[in-house]
Amino acid sequence: MAGSSTPRVGVLALQGDFREHAAVLSGLGASVTLVRRPEELAAVDGLVIPGGESSVMDKLARAFDLAEPLRAAVRGGLPVYGTCAGLIMLADRIVDGIVGQESIGGLDVSVRRNAFGSQVDSFETDLDIPVLGAPPVHAVFIRAPIVESAGEQVTPLATLDDGTMVAVEQGNLLGTSFHPEVTGDTRFHAYFLAKVAAAV
């Protein structure tokens, strides 16, 4: 909030691993609100959309009358960080969405859901992410999406060895295919909080 030194960050709490994100953000000194209603969204300075099941999250966002307020918040410049399913929610284009699946949009990317296969195909790897400095980020991919293509306004922050984009940034929006909330490495959340503080 304006005039406050503590950023008020929401975590979309419709479905998925929102509690883990809330714990990391609280540990970094943010004031955290679990967001399930439009009025809760309206009270935050930034928002994290967690991993989970993107099609279920989409249905719940519409059921809770949150879909349009979320789109309006993104258009209005609210800093938003999406991880895994959250990245899918922020993407302008979902190349393999289920019938009727919608996204919030804002990130000029095309994403593919479950690009690496099912839960048993989850994996971990170390990624060099220059904006976060050394050491490499240990990234956990769980039924993860990938960014298949990105517009010229999008900055790739991390790629796999084959060049596949797995972390991107565009203006007020940040997205990762992986789950930094489960590894104990808080640098991505800290990077996002700096973005929130700058916007406030």
Residues labelled as active-site residues: 84, 179, 181
Give the C-alpha separation, 83 to 181, whole Å.
9
Give the C-alpha separation, 39 to 48, whole Å.
16
Q: In sequence order, which residues have a C-beta less than 8 Å from that of residue 183 and are 6 or more positions away?
A: 138, 139, 140
> Torsions phi, psi of 66, nearest 5?
-105, -15
Q: In sequence order, which residues have a C-beta less than 8 Å from that of residue 138 and are 6 or more positions away?
A: 124, 125, 126, 183, 185
Give the C-alpha separation, 106 to 31, whole Å.
25
